[in-house]
Amino acid sequence: MENLADDIWIFNGDSVQFLGLPFSTRMTVVRLTSGELWVHSPIKLSDSIKAQLDGLGRVKYLIAPNHLHHLFLPEWIAFYPNAEVYGTNEVIKKRRDISFHGSLNTIQDWAWGSDIEQELFSGSPLMEECVFYHTGSGTLIVTDLVENFSGKDFTYWQRGIAKCVGILAPNGKTPLDWRLSFIFGKSDARKHFKRLFDWCPKILVMSHGEIVRENADQFLAESFKWLR
């Protein structure tokens, strides 16, 4: 567990294999003004994580921000049966075995809205992702919209592939396949990116890769040049 700033923490989990690469896993936890915990992209649950969360507050919200980040939800739901579960339309459709309390695609006054703002980043037929901004710390929280792998756990060939698809630090960005899928949805994506950029984040946290702790606005401008 690492304390990024007041009331926001990250937990790094084991890597999972995806498309031939070892994808590091990371979840972000925010303690809301109410004292309850908001958990973004839950990783594999362990006794250590349970103990650390107990010291932070009560787990209230479990967030699946896109259709690829749902693997460990059942074990979290089993251990925290009173937690509310939210996901995008895509993940709700994919995980019919999970009872979601609502869709992140809807526009409403979210219970965490006074602490966390959000934007559904759409425009691609392959995937949409709900992006969040923790106002208290100025932290932008994304999942796969930006990937920024250090490459230290990659083989020589894996580093080459990561560089080719644009996800190798310090020049991480949206993976190539997702970028290409916006060919007919760039105008929609630009509107979403403008909101992200207008938040003026100080820190950028992604599920996969190096956290951007300085000049996050400059990093965002560079990593989203493909939208121009």
Q: Where along the chain do its domains lie?
A: 2-227
- Summary count for the chain: helices (H), strands (E): 7, 11
CATH architecture assignment, domain 2-227: 4-Layer Sandwich (3.60)
Indicate the SS3 state at residue 158.
Answer: helix
Q: Per-residue pLDDT tens for 101-110?
A: 999 999 999 9
Please give the structure tokens belonging to residue 41.
């992209």
Confidence at residue 127, expressed as pLDDT on a 0 to 100 scale: 86
- Alpha-carbon dihedral angle through residues 105, 108, 114, 118, given to the nearest 10 degrees: 20
| Least confident span in 56-60, 148-152, 193-197 | 148-152
Torsion of CA 107, 108, 114, 119, to 10 degrees: -10
CB 149 within 8 A of CB 159: no
Q: Which of 51, 58, 75 is nearest to 1 (CA)?
A: 51
Most confident of 7-16, 23-32, 112-121: 112-121
CB atoms within 10 A of CB 204: 26
Contact between 139 and 201 (Cβ < 8 Å): yes
Average pLDDT over every residue of 206-215: 93
pLDDT tens per residue, range 58-94? 999 999 999 988 989 999 999 999 999 999 999 999 9
Query: What single-letter amino acid sits at 5?
Result: A
* pLDDT score for 157: 77
At 22, is the pLDDT very low, low, confident or very high (cuts 50, 70, 90)? Answer: low
Report the mean per-residue pLDDT for the chain. 92
Q: What is the pLDDT of residue 20?
A: 61
Report whether pLDDT(21) > 70.
Answer: no
Query: pLDDT confidence of 17, banded at 50, 70, 90?
Result: low
pLDDT band for position 161 (cuts 50, 70, 90): confident
Q: In the structure encoding, which two tokens stand for residue 85, read together? A: 């579960």
